[in-house]
Structure 1
Amino acid sequence: MRVTQSMLSNNFLKNISNSYEKMGKISEQMQTQKKITRPSDDPVVAMKGIAYRTNLAEVQQFKRNFTEAHNWIDNSDAALDQATQALQRIRELTVKANNGTLEGDQRNAIAKEIEQLRDQLKEVANTKVGDKYLFNGTDTLNPLVLDVDPPKVSGNNKPVKLELAKGVYIQVNTDGTKVFSEELFTNLNTLINKLDPNNTTVDLKDDLANLDNSINTILNERATIGARDNRIELMEDRIDQQEVSASKMMSDNEDVDMEKVITDLITQESVQRASLGMGARIIQPTLLDFLR
């Protein structure tokens, strides 16, 4: 086959164009620090990148759910701590009132304080964080205890569960109908009535037993909350590790090795200069070159 000058020129220009294209791609990798900028650059890397990004987004959503879970757990435990203190104070007052030597006005003063503590328990039962009531199950828009006399408990005890891992749902709320039952408020009202100053005989043994049961119920619920919190913390540590792993896998798949890219760029520049020099030698001079 006869090789003509035009064939040499066309091949040279084609190769130079390819060389510039390679340099452009390497330069683009240096600027973006990514192996590819479009799926067509490497479909395998692109497909893996979609999977890794989906996994990372899922893990990051779980991390946001952990924040919400801690919000429920921490505020519920703090509220139950206040309820425990209120009931323990009521018990102290009841023990004091059970002393037969107290006069009517003294029992009346104790009854007034217990009334205030009862109302405080109502407020704790209706604890609200943001726009959510903590103790009314899934009905977070309405309070647990209605402000009537005697207090009425709404009765929603459905669990609030959050997905904290793939397919793993953890309950984050407390059953308010168990802790702040209508029976609790009925017993407190009965206790207050017994402390009427005109009542000369006061026997509060049953009331003390009821208070002990209520306190134990709250303590048991707080123990349950503590156990859930421990599990949530363990799961959160695992999710943090998964986030690190997912980020690393995505980085290994997409991010360039800068040392390699710089080396490739220097090599390609050398090839480019050599090609230009070779082209200058093989392309024959034209008539214009002789007329200079």
Structure 2
Amino acid sequence: MIGRITQQGMQQATLRHLQSNLSRMSELQQQASSGKAITKPSDDPAGTVDAMRIRGDQRATAQHARNAADAVGWLSTVDTALLSSTSLLRQARDLTVQGASSGSLSQTARDALAAELDATAEALRAQANATYLGRSVFAGTSNAGEAFTMTETVIDAGTPDERTVPVYTFTGAGTGGVERRIADNTTVRVDSDGATVFGNGDESVFALLGNIAADLRNGVDVGGRLSEIDTRMDAMLGEVAAMGTRYKQVLEAQEAISAREVTLQSQLTSVEDVDLAETIVQLKMQEVAYQAALSATQRTLQPSLLDFLR
């Protein structure tokens, strides 16, 4: 049995098709103007999930990039301080060698060497108290303003030998260090243990230079102190090598982060963005189809009685 196709049914079907064409054309126009294939989750649920995952990876990568940049700042500060400290300690060693030349120096010359050593010790302490963004780079996780403080104490009080001597104290944290996460499973220490590099208390390099200066003033042979200076020099050079390794690790991480940022952006583009040329072609085809539908509808639908009455 063949069903009867009424004029009203033809009109309703035609209207539905025209509205569908308009909706598709509006969707293509929106994609062409925004450049995005996904404007709401219902456009592509699976693609939306992928885009959200990629954007999460982008945020994590951006944080790693900020961490790596901060790590470079810390490591650069530590490296500069260590190199300056090494140079100062070499100067102190040269002064000690001069002071060890017994019989060739007057007491005035020895006093002058002692004064230079005192100045070198203070310059070393300034390097040991280097800071980055207000944080001491040799004090670990401590929030102390200085990694090494200096106070003066009086010894042999009330005797002819009464004198004031400096006392150096390490104020840094005893354990742990400042770390930065530069990848999902990679962290790097960006500070340096001041107690290991410069020593602590009476064993510090500052106290050592002060003792050498005191020996020079008292006419004591300082030749035996050279091995102590060499021990502190070895500690500094070892830390310089360690910092160089960590610095290289962070620089390599920055290169990897930059490459990952490009990769993630490419992945997001492939999921979210439209092929503009293809979209424009589809839009033109849809416009042609819509115009053709209007023309066909005009010829197909018969005029109603009201049309005749006009």
Q: What is the TM-score of this pair, normalised by structure 2?
A: 0.89
SS in 1 for 2:5: coil
Percent identity reads 29
Q: Deviations over 1:29-74 (max 9, x none)?
A: 0111000111111111111110111111111111111101111111
Task: Give the counterpart of 1:109 among 99, 112, 129.
Answer: 112
Distance in 1, Cα, partners of 2:118 & 2:138: 22
Residue type of the alignment partner of 2:234: N
Query: Aligned-pair distance for 1:99?
Result: 1.6
Whether 1:87 aligns to 2:104 is: no
Query: Aligned-pair distance for 1:155?
Result: 4.4
Aligned residue number for residue 169 of structure 2: 152
* Stretch of structure 1 that moved more, 278-287 or 129-138: 278-287
Q: Is the contact between residue 136 and residue 155 of structure 1 (CA under 8 Å) also seen in structure 2?
A: yes
Distance in 1, Cα, partners of 2:172 & 2:265: 45
Task: Give the counterpart of 2:213 among 185, 192, 208.
Answer: 192
Q: Is the contact between residue 66 and residue 164 of structure 1 (CA under 8 Å) also seen in structure 2?
A: yes
Distance in 2, Cα, partners of 1:99 & 1:141: 41
Q: Is the contact between residue 139 and residue 146 of structure 2 (CA under 8 Å) also seen in structure 1?
A: yes
Aligned residue number for residue 163 of structure 2: none
SS in 2 for 1:170: strand
Whether 1:161 aligns to 2:182 is: no
**Structure 1: unaligned runs, 5 residues or longer:** none
Task: Give the counterpart of 1:204 among 222, 243, 246.
Answer: 222
Q: Is the contact between residue 179 and residue 188 of structure 2 (CA under 8 Å) also seen in structure 1?
A: yes
**Structure 2: unaligned runs, 5 residues or longer:** 152-165
SS in 2 for 1:272: helix
Aligned residue number for residue 215 of structure 1: 233
Aligned residue number for residue 19 of structure 1: 21
Distance in 2, Cα, partners of 1:156 & 1:190: 26
Q: Deviations over 1:146-182 (max 9, x none)?
A: 1312111124242211111112111111111111212
Q: Is the contact between residue 12 and residue 279 of structure 1 (CA under 8 Å) also seen in structure 2?
A: yes
Q: What is the TM-score of this pair, normalised by structure 1?
A: 0.94
Q: Deviations over 1:226-256 (max 9, x none)?
A: 1112222222222222222111111100010
Residue type of the alignment partner of 1:153: F
Distance in 2, Cα, partners of 1:232 & 1:115: 37
Aligned residue number for residue 31 of structure 1: 33
Aligned residue number for residue 273 of structure 1: 291
SS in 1 for 2:287: helix
Q: Is the contact between residue 59 and residue 242 of structure 1 (CA under 8 Å) also seen in structure 2?
A: yes
Whether 1:134 aligns to 2:137 is: yes
SS in 2 for 1:195: helix
Q: Is the contact between residue 134 and residue 140 of structure 1 (CA under 8 Å) also seen in structure 2?
A: no
Distance in 2, Cα, partners of 1:146 & 1:235: 36
Distance in 2, Cα, partners of 1:6 & 1:42: 36
Aligned residue number for residue 70 of structure 1: 72
* Stretch of structure 1 that moved more, 150-159 or 80-89: 150-159
SS in 1 for 2:188: strand
Query: Aligned-pair distance for 1:280?
Result: 0.5
Q: Name the count of aligned residue pairs.
A: 289
Distance in 1, Cα, partners of 2:144 & 2:168: 18
* Stretch of structure 1 that moved more, 14-23 or 144-153: 144-153
Change beyond 3 A, Cα 1:8–1:141: farther
Distance in 2, Cα, partners of 1:133 & 1:283: 85
Distance in 1, Cα, partners of 2:92 & 2:98: 10
Aligned residue number for residue 278 of structure 2: 260
Aligned residue number for residue 233 of structure 1: 251
SS in 2 for 1:62: helix
Distance in 2, Cα, partners of 1:270 & 1:155: 76
Aligned residue number for residue 195 of structure 2: 177
Query: Aligned-pair distance for 1:141?
Result: 4.2
